[in-house]
Each structure stands twice: as structure tokens, then as C-alpha cells.
Amino acid sequence: MSSTTASLANAPTTDTGLNHAARTPRAMYWRRFRRNPLCITGALLLALLMFLAAFGHLLAPHDPILVNTADRFIAPGAQYFFGTDEFGRDIFSRILYGARIAVQVGIVSVVVAFVGGIVLGLISGYYSGWIDTILSRLLEIWLSFPDILFVIAVVAILGPSLNNVIVALGFLSIPAYARIVRGSVMSARQEVYVEAARSVGVSNARIMGRHILPNVVAPLIILSSLRFGGALLTGAGLSFIGLGAQPPEPEWGAILSGGRTYMYQAPWITVFPGIAIAVFVLGINMLGDGLRDVLDPRLTR
Amino acid sequence: MARYIINRLFQAVIVLIGVSIAVAAMTEFVPGDPALAILGENASPDAIAALREEMGFDDPFWVQYGRFIERLLTEGSLGTSLRTNREVLVEIGDRLPYTLMLTFGAVGLSTVLGITSGILAAVRRGKPTDMAVLVGTTAGLSVPSFWVALLMIWFFSIRLGWLPVAGAGTWQHLVLPTLTLALPSIATKSRLTRSAMLEALGQDYIRTGRAKGLRERRVILVHALRNALLPVMTIVGLQFGALLGGAFITEVIFGWPGVGQLAVNSILQRDFPVVQGTVLLVTVGFVLTNLIVDILYAWADPRIHYA
């Protein structure tokens, strides 16, 4: 809980922040971010994941998909760092290529949820009345499906594939974003500065974009980091049971699943992708927890 | 209070109608011809036409939905499985006891372990115990439970030979799946209990209790815990529904013959009536649990007045 004490210790400084003319809110957040160990560790792990997604294919010593039956089930060593699987494929290279898939799952699903949630939330909160009533009911029905069940239902409709899982994960999170946006739009609508903007003839779209949205950026960033980690976990889980990435795609959950049968003779096939998922999801969750401390000190655990 | 319950019931009815529409509409959203998707690329045009006719895919959606509801209400039927030709409700009914066994086990285990570790962490705030719980819960939320499941199978079933690898039948079969399912849930409940306890321990009545010489044990377990438990119990209720859905992956790993395994197999075999039936039943279960939790909450916490 060092982060808690850290942000509490910082509190007086931030309160008197007005005395320092040069200190903008952004500088203040950045300062708190740098001093928060959760944020730093999480951000570094996320950066590593992004780096692997971008350049992993250059670092990979072997082809991730090419079958090489002469080298089946080789234990981890100098030639194959993480060993090989039943097709003689290098697990290390497969995990490196898998980083790109993991980042795709996280980013695309969060972007889908972000865009969809903001649009629905803005419309619902800004126009209120019957549009709001209908949209709110719709979101309620949407939220009444248990998480994994929702994703599974979408996959049932569209068919098992990684892309469909990504779409499903995005749609799953739309209501969470929409609720946050709707709530703050409703309260911001009462504010004097919005009233003022409207009275001087600023358009609805501009009011929403310039005057209302900036208020919800912090909770949306926190939510996004948590959903990113959740999407990685659920995406890997669904690929693991065969509803997501299909062989020979080097998705981490799918690699794990492939190693299931050979756990006795070749445990490394299951061990390494599991570690990869755990470490990066851990990093993203740490970043999420840290961002919550930094951006919203009231919510400190 | 009565008004709140009536409102909440009314709201639940609307949600359930919406859910039934969404589930009935699932086949509408299948890209291309659902009959073709079900039968596969090699099916004869006659077979596809026959299935379209049988499933009523050619009718407008509202006609299909009307038929779906009518059949459900008058015959108590959700249709028949395309693979086994058995009633969907019978298929699910055979599997449901297994899933409920697993879910109740996981809810019980995660509630006991989650609340206990949460209290310990709160009472020993900042001490090694608190740190250990923090590390444990962070891991519980980040480590994929299906991976832990495999490691546990490898260790307990393959290496030590203590527990069966998969299947159902004896209590030993229940151990690993229950643990797997409970794992992330223990972490959530532990964290929540910790923060609720910390808040309760900071209240004036706790200081009063200590000042009048109550034993620390009594202060914590009676005075603080009673107030901290309310939000925790809400989560217990909500997680029951989530676990019901979350049992899918666990059931597949352990070959557990529950509803989740049925649903996953049905998706892979494109058995739509069974998929729709499972989604509908589990979601209805989830909505009803939430409803009960909300009503109990209103009843248990007299401070809250609902409009």
C-alpha cells in the first residue's frame, strides 16, 4: 500500500499547487504518475508488450508456423529458448508473434467499446427524454448478460474466430463506457459554463466535444486499462477452448491449449505462454490501479 | 420499500422481455443463411430449404419471436436440439445440476476465503499479512485461471496422482474445477472486504467500542464486520451469476458435464436451439439473482431509502 501513502503524502503539495504559477494539471498528474510505483512498473510492462508487438517478428529466431518434424518436443535450451511443440515449432518465436495478436485484441476491443460507449452515452445523456429512456433500457438489457456469456453468444452468432471474439469483447464493454459518459453528461448539462456556451450559440456537437467530454477522460482512461487486461484474459480463455484464434495462429491461449495433451512430456509448451499472459495482464492491471490513484485520489483504495 | 420492490420487479420483467427478444434474434444476425451455417457448405439445397421451413427462418422476425414465446409459454419448450433431436430443456436439465454444484462450491469457497483474507488484510493494514494478501489478490486477478487449472492438473493429478484429471462422479472430481472457478472471485471479494473493513474501522462507533473497553476481537468481528459485510454480500450475489457464465471455460478444461460444456460444444456444432436455450436460461438466472440481491439489500440496509 505504499502507493496509498505516497498519494496521501502528495496531497498537501497538490492543494497548494496554485501557488506555483507554472504548474498545470497535466504537470501535476505527470508528477504523481512518475512517483507511483504501480504506474511505472505497469507502464514499463505495457511498453514492453507494445515493443514486442511492433518488433517481435524481427527478434524471433524461427518461423512461428513452419512445421519442422525433426525438432519435435525439444526441451528449452540454447537453440530453442522456450523449447518446441509437437510440430517442432519454436515456442519462443510463437510467443513473440503472439504479442501482436494480444495487443490487437486489447486495442481493437477497447477502441470499439470507447467509440460505441461515448456515442451512446453522449446521445443518451445530452438529449435525455425518450431517447434516453430507450437507450438506458437497451443498455440495461445489454448488461444483464453475464460477461463471458455475452461474448460466447456473439461468437455463436458470428462463428468461432479471433476477430469475432475481439468484436464481441468490444461490444461487451460498450455499456460500461456509455454509463460513465451518460452520468457525467447529465451532471455537466446543469453546469453554468455549458449553459453559457449554449446561450452564445455554440452547437450541440461542439458543446459535447469541447465542454463535456474532457470531464470524463480520467474515468475512461482507468476503465480502458482495466478492460484492456480483461480482454487479454478473456480472449486467451476463449481461444483456449477453441472459440477464438484457430490453429496454427500463435495466440497465447491457443498455444497453451495445444500443449494440453503433451503436458507430461513437454510442460514448457503450456508454461511459457501462461507466464506471458500473466505477466502482461498483471502489468496492465497495475497500470490501471496506479492510474486510479493518480487521476482520482478520492478513489484511493 | 414496497414501492421500490414493485419498481424493481417491473424493471426485471422489462429486462427479461428484452433478453428473450435478443436471444430469439440471434439467428437473425448470423451472417448469410443461418440454415446454411447450421448444415455446412456441403448440404443439399433441399436439406437447406427443409431446415429453413422447419426453423421458420423465412418468416419475419416478429412472427418467429411470437412462435418462440408461444411455444415457451404453452408447451414449456425451447425447441429441440438439431444434433440429438431431444428437447433443449431436457438437454440443459441433464447438465444443470453439475453446473450448479460447481457454482455453489465456488461461491462458498470464494466467499469464505475472500472475506477471511480481506478481514486479515484490513486488521493488519500495512503489515506483511496485508502485503501477502495484496500480492495474492493481484495475482488472482491477473493469472489466467485456465492456466492455473492446467498446472494444478499437472501437479495434483499427473505428478501426485491424488485427483482425477477430468470427468465427474466423486467429490475428488469436484476439487480442481471448484478451485479454478473460485480463484479470481476470491481476489475480488478479498479486496472488497478489505476496503469495506477499513472504512468501517474508521467510524466513530468503533472508537466508542474500543473506548468502553470491548475486546478487539469483538470490535472487529461484530461491530466492524457487520457493517462491512453489506457491500460484500452484494458482490457475492452478483458473482453467483457471473460464475454461472464463467463456468464455461472451467467445464471444458475438466470435461465437466455441465451447461457450459454443452454450450461450447453446441457452438462448435452450430446447434442453435441449444445455444439459444443456454444463453436464455443462464441470463434469466443472472437477472433473477440480481433482483433478489437488490431486494435483500434494500431490506438489510434501512439507511437506504429508494425512490
Give the gap in angstroms from C-alpha A34 to the nearest C-alpha of chain B.
Answer: 21
Whether B245 has its CB under 8 Å from any CB of chain A: the answer is: yes
Tell me whether residue B80 is in a domain.
Answer: no
Looking at the partner chain, which of B125, B126, B144 has a beta carbon nearest the beta carbon of A233? B144
List pLDDT tens digits, range B48-62: 888 888 777 778 888
Q: What is the mean pLDDT of residues A203-220?
A: 81
Pairwise CB contact (< 8 Å): A153 & B275: yes
pLDDT, tens digit, for every residue of A102-149? 999 999 999 999 999 999 998 888 887 888 888 988 888 888 888 888
Which spans in chain A are helix H? 2-15, 25-35, 37-59, 91-127, 129-143, 147-158, 162-189, 192-199, 204-206, 217-240, 252-259, 268-295
Please answer yes or no on whether A146 and B29 come within 8 Å at the CB atom.
Answer: no
Q: How far is A284 from chain B (nearest CA, A)?
A: 9
| pLDDT computed for residue A13 by the predictor | 44
The answer to whether residues A227 and A109 touch, using CB atoms and an 8 Å cutoff, is yes
Say yes or no: B65 and B160 in one domain. no
pLDDT at B244 > cutoff 80: no
User: Distances in Å between the alpha carbon of A279 and those of B93, B164, B197?
Assistant: 40, 29, 30
Closest Cβ–Cβ partner in B23, B147, B242 for A274: B147
Q: A8: distance to nearest CA of chain B, Å?
A: 14
**Residue B84 domain flag:** no
Q: Check B242 against A146: CB less than 8 A apart.
A: yes
pLDDT of residue A12: 44
Q: How far apart are CA A187 and CA A212, in angstroms?
A: 10
Are B126 and B243 within one domain? yes
CB contact under 8 A, B147 and A256: yes
Lowest-pLDDT choice from A9-23, A79-93, A228-242, B103-117: A9-23
Q: Is residue B129 a part of any domain in this protein? A: yes
CATH number of domain containing B98: 1.10.3720.10
Residue B260, domain member (yes or no): yes
For residues B256 and B131, membership in a common domain is answered with yes
pLDDT of B302 reads: 65
Q: How far apart are CA A94 and CA A84, in angstroms?
A: 10
**Domain identity same for B10 and B101:** no
- Residue B259 near residue B96, CB atoms below 8 Å: yes
pLDDT band at B274 (very low <50, low <70, confident <90, very high): very high
B282 to A149: CB separation less than 8 angstroms, yes or no: yes
Q: What is the pLDDT of residue A253?
A: 92
Same domain, B62 and B161: no
Same domain, B46 and B101: no
**CB B241, CB A143: distance < 8 Å:** no
Q: Report ipTM for this prediction.
A: 0.84
Q: Identify which has the larger pLDDT, B172 or A166.
A: A166
Q: Which of A145, A237, A277 sits opposite B249 (nearest CB)?
A: A237
B104 shares its domain with B144: yes
Which three-class secondary structure state does DSSP give residue B305? coil
User: CA A46, CA A38: separation in Å to the nearest integer?
Assistant: 12
Choosing from B48, B75, B102, the residue where a domain stops is B75
* B248 is a domain residue: yes
Nearest to B144 among A145, A236, A263 (CB): A236
Answer whether residue A273 shows pLDDT above 90. Answer: yes
State how far the Cα of B34 lies from the Cα of A42, in Å rounded to an integer. 44
Number of domains in chain B: 2
Nearest CA of chain B to the CA of A98: how many Å? 16
Mean pLDDT, chain A, rounded, equals 84
pTM, two decimals, is 0.84
Scan residues 149-178 of B and list those with Cβ closer than 8 Å to A. Answer: 150-151, 153-154, 158
Whether the bond between A214 and the residue before it is cis, its omega within 30 degrees of 0, is: no
Residues B184 and B96 in one domain: yes
The answer as to whether B82 is a domain residue is no
Give the model's pLDDT for residue A251: 93
Domain limits for position B30: 2-75
Q: Are residues B174 and B266 in the same domain?
A: yes
Would residue B124 count as lying in a domain? yes
Cell numbers linked to B225:
464486520
Domain boundary among B29, B49, B75: B75
| Cβ proximity of A257 and A240 under 8 Å | yes
Residues from chain A contacting residue B194 (CB–CB below 8 Å): 301
Distance (Å) from the alpha carbon of A233 to chain B's nearest alpha carbon: 6
pLDDT band of residue A96 (cuts 50, 70, 90) is very high
Beta-carbon contacts of A58 under 8 Å, excluding residues fewer than 6 positions away, are: none
Q: Which B residues in the span 78-97 are in contact with A, Cβ-Cβ below 8 Å?
A: none
* Contact by Cβ (8 Å): B187, B115: no
CATH class held by domain A38-61+87-294? mainly alpha
Q: Does B56 share its domain with B200? A: no
| Cβ-nearest to A152 among B151, B253, B267 | B267
Residues 186-205 of B with CB under 8 A from A: 191, 194-195
CA B13 to chain centre: 20
Cβ within 8 Å of A, B 121-140? 125-126, 130-131, 134, 138-139
Nearest to B147 among A145, A264, A277 (CB): A277
DSSP state, residue A297: G
What is the pLDDT, as a whole number, of residue A95? 93
Q: Are residues B127 and B181 in the same domain?
A: yes
Residue A19: the pLDDT is: 47
Q: Which pLDDT does position A161 carry in this prediction? A: 92
CA distance B217 to chain A (A): 24
Assess whether B237 and B197 both reside in one domain.
yes
Among B29, B154, B283, select the one facing A145 at the smallest CB separation: B283
Which residues on chain B are in Cβ contact (under 8 Å) with A236?
A: 144, 146
Query: For residue B86, is it within any domain?
Result: no
- The pLDDT confidence band at residue B92, using thresholds 50, 70 and 90, is very high
Domain boundary residue, one of B51, B75, B99: B75
Q: Does B288 touch chain A (CB under 8 A)?
A: no
